[in-house]
Amino acid sequence: MKNQIKSFFKTNPNRNFKSKEVAKRLKIKTEKDYKELKTTLHKLAVEKFLSKNGKKYKLKSLPDTNRIVGHFQLNEGGFGFVLPKNNKLKDIYISARNSNNAFHGDLVEVVFFAKQKGKNLEGQITKVIRRKRKQFVGQLRKSKSFYFISPDDVKIHRDIYIDREDLHGAKPGDKVTVGKINWDDRMLNPEGEVVEILGEEGTLDAEVISIAREFGIPTAFSKSVLREAEEINISITEEDVNKRIDFREKNVFTIDPRDAKDFDDALSIEKLDNGNFKVGVHIADVSHYVKAGSELDEEALNRGNSTYFVGKAIPMLPEKLSNNICSLVPNEDRLTFSAIFEITQNGRVNGYQIAKTIINSKRRFTYEEAQKIIETGSGEYSEEIVLLDKIATKLRKKRFREGSLEFFTAEVEFELDTDGKPVNIVKKEIKESNMLVEEFMLLANKSVAEKISRKKKIPFAYRIHDFPDQEKIEEFSRFVKSLGYSFNPHSGKAASQFNKLMESVKGTEEEGVINELAIRSMAKAVYSAQNIGHYGLGFSFYTHFTSPIRRYADLIVHRIVDKTPKNKSGINYSLEELDEICDHISAAERNSMEAERLSVKQKQVQFLKNKIGEEFNAVISGVASFGIFVELTDFLAQGLIRARDLEGDFYVLSEKKYSLIGNRTKKQFRLGDRICVKLVRVDLDNLEMDFIIKENG
């Protein structure tokens, strides 16, 4: 109970909770357990782990010393925050002049001041304990008397100087990695030496390696890891088959994107004598080949997940596994771990089992091919695909009725030439075939988590999503009302309020920005050994089971699920081990997402660099005192209209109205407004674009 409560408050460090709210979130229902919870809350307050204000508890936020340790997060404006390792403390504001010689991400020591910056304590970095990064990537340049790089990472505000003797063959214009950084005096620039020449600036390989280096993502496997992969026996023995349910004669197929190279999930459906359907969700059995504690396993854990850059993927596992023996390619026997459901014609799940299986995929469909079958009702395995689509539609409707949120995140895909340069950008369309696959993956993930949760003592890796922060929801509500829409987060279930709102804005000019701000108001989904449910999906139990080729979380979930029926305890990992693993893979996921966003932004800017002077439809995606952020409707690329370029008036920020308002004319540029813009500047080095307003007529 004590560990559960401590973990809960650590997950919600800045919020106050009454004991009844804590009980509800931890799903404590009996009077006996509730009394124990209240006693434990009181003890934690006495121990100064929690502070108590009236009937509410929260993490104790004031430090006992004015020296603390934390990670420095630098803002592009030059200031930053230190996130204390002691997560009972709030973030500490660090002004640019007080950042000393710390880089973004460094572990630092801070002395905080008595004053506060808004809601945050303010402090000064006094010591860099450990550098997060020992290397930086950038294009080598030469001034009159010295060589330098401006790091690609825009959060690194200092050029790094390089002595002529430390170039090691690099020439101005080359993309290089600079290491052996020395920076002791904030008044001087850091110095380093070239440790790797990545290639000519602008090539796809150089770009991918540059971003990977910037985010600390390894791009190659060690010889020992590759050797271990090569030594894996890929033959399927009779003993393997005898231990599994055999689906090789069934109509099993995959549905994936056009450019997919690894296929880790497949589907099957057949009609039962009672009129119900047997639906199989078959997942590559990666855990059969990647054993816990092996070098392959350690490397996969270190990476946490595969990372998908534009034009090139960096896999979590070597190609022999990811694109070969673990990939559910057509016409090959493959070992799988399956969730097998009995589902009625109305979409009700009557029962399910999680079992080791063997399949032989009969067909590889792209989303486009499956969509054509859904629309026309004809084609290979049309009966199965149409049936799966009908069931998925019912499952989806039921999920939304029960509290799942319906958001979308608009994405783009790129058409690249042979040199990796973008020649076209199109918005991805989400159609029934995409939703079909998603729905059965959600069902499998949810069912696996429910099955393990019944065995209460088994440590498990959940995918959790916390309730939204109340302040952010209130802010979102005010913004929506400023646009003339109704949204009351206190009226009934917040999830149903969100879904009603999203339905009402569908097809309107404001749809994109409202959807984006709604997502921003949410907490981030993470992995955790402490289950609090998944708010966004409306599930009490959820995990990741369906993508073990590209996510380490799924691999450990497979191991735990596999061991559970064979061992009464089912314990594969201790709670402490899982806590550590979940923290690591959550951080790795965030890191990969940031790297992937940078890759997309890079290609968007490259695509638009030759379109200076052209006009585009855009939506205002942000407002600040210095200008308007816009997102191009067709390409989803973002740029800035500087306040000084808004002609005819002096514009002032109105935070309450989410607008820049003209002093004299009272003309407004409001968040969510559609406008026409002209591209006037592209900065490839800093990935920045400037626009001006193109007035109608």
CATH topology of domain 609-693: OB fold (Dihydrolipoamide Acetyltransferase, E2P) (2.40.50)
Residue 556 CB coordination number (10 Å): 28
> Cα–Cα distance between 343 and 277 in angstroms, integer?
5
Long-range contacts of 294-299 (CB under 8 A, 24+ apart): 294/228, 295/222, 295/224, 295/225, 295/228, 296/225, 296/228, 296/229, 296/321, 297/555, 299/221, 299/222, 299/225
Kindly write down the DSSP assignment for every residue of 337-366, as one continuous string: EEEEEEE-TTS-EEEEEEEEEEEEB-EEEE
681 pLDDT higher than 60:
yes
The least confident of 252-266, 305-319, 510-524 is 510-524
Ranking 443-447, 508-512, 623-627 by mean pLDDT, the lowest is 508-512
From CA 657, how far away is CA 654, in angstroms rounded?
5
Q: What is the spatial distance between Cα 322 and Cα 316, in angstroms, rounded to a whole number?
A: 8
Which of 697 and 518 is assigned the larger pLDDT?
518
Percent of the chain with pLDDT over 70: 94
Element housing 390 (H / E): helix 382-401
For residue 622, count other CB atoms closer than 10 A to its CB: 16
Structure confidence by residue, pLDDT tens digits, 33-86: 888 889 999 888 887 778 888 888 887 755 555 678 888 988 766 788 988 876
Q: Name the residue type at position 588.
A: A
Mean pLDDT for 634-644 is: 94
Confidence band, pLDDT 50/70/90 cuts, at residue 493: low
- Asked whether the predicted pLDDT for residue 580 surpasses 70, the reply is yes
136-201: CATH topology: OB fold (Dihydrolipoamide Acetyltransferase, E2P) (2.40.50)
- Beta strands 147-149 and 160-162: pairing type? antiparallel
Average pLDDT, the chain: 89
Tell me the per-residue pLDDT of 351-365, one tens digit each, with 9 for 90 and over. 999 999 999 999 999
Instruction: Say how many residues make up the chain.
Output: 697
pLDDT score recorded for residue 12: 73
Q: What is the mean pLDDT of residues 251-265?
A: 93
Residue whose C-alpha is closest to residue 596's, from 164, 224, 306, 365: 306
Residue by residue, DSSP assigns 588-599 as HHHHHHHHHHHH
C-alpha count within 13 angstroms, C-beta hemisphere, residue 447:
21
CATH fold for the domain made of 67-130: OB fold (Dihydrolipoamide Acetyltransferase, E2P) (2.40.50)
Let me know: does 469 contact 15? Beta carbons within 8 Å. yes
Q: In this predicted model, what pLDDT tens digit does every residue of 288-312 receive, in sequence order? A: 999 999 999 999 999 999 999 999 9
| SS3 state at 310 | coil
Please tell me the least confidently modeled range out of 152-166, 536-550, 661-675.
152-166
Residue 492 has pLDDT above 70, yes or no: no
* pLDDT for residue 119: 60
Mean pLDDT value of segment 593-610: 95
pLDDT band at 200 (very low <50, low <70, confident <90, very high): confident
63 close to 89: Cβ distance less than 8 angstroms: yes
Residue-range domain boundaries for the chain: 2-59, 67-130, 136-201, 223-462+539-596, 609-693
* Strands of 361-447, DSSP E: 363-366, 412-416, 422-427
| Rounded CA separation 339/354 (Å) | 5
- 627, pLDDT greater than 90: yes
The model scores a pTM over 0.75: yes
Q: pLDDT, tens digit, for every residue of 410-421?
A: 889 999 999 899
Residue 517: is its pLDDT beyond 90? no
**Of 95-109, 228-242, 305-319, which range is least confident?**
95-109
The residue type at 278 = K
pLDDT at 118: 58
Determine the average pLDDT of the residues in 577-593: 94
pLDDT of 282 strictly over 70 = yes
Does residue 697 carry a pLDDT above 50?
no
Gap between the Cα atoms of 585 and 304, Å rounded: 5
Single out the residue of 191, 422, 243, 228 nearest to residue 320, CA to CA: 228
Element at 84 (helix H, strand E): strand 80-84
Higher pLDDT among residues 126 and 336, named by residue: 336
136-201 and 67-130 share a CATH fold = yes
Spatial distance between the Cα atoms of 68 and 53, rounded to a whole number of angstroms: 25
The encoded tokens of residue 351 equal 């029962």
pLDDT at 17: 87
Q: How confident is the model at residue 657 (pLDDT cuts 50, 70, 90)?
A: confident
161 and 189 in contact (C-beta within 8 Å)? yes
How confident is the model at residue 243, as a pLDDT? 93
pLDDT per position as a tens digit, 374-388: 999 999 999 999 999
| Mean pLDDT of all residues in 263-282 | 97
Residue 156 has pLDDT above 90, yes or no: no
pLDDT in tens, 4-40: 888 788 777 667 888 988 888 888 888 888 888 899 9
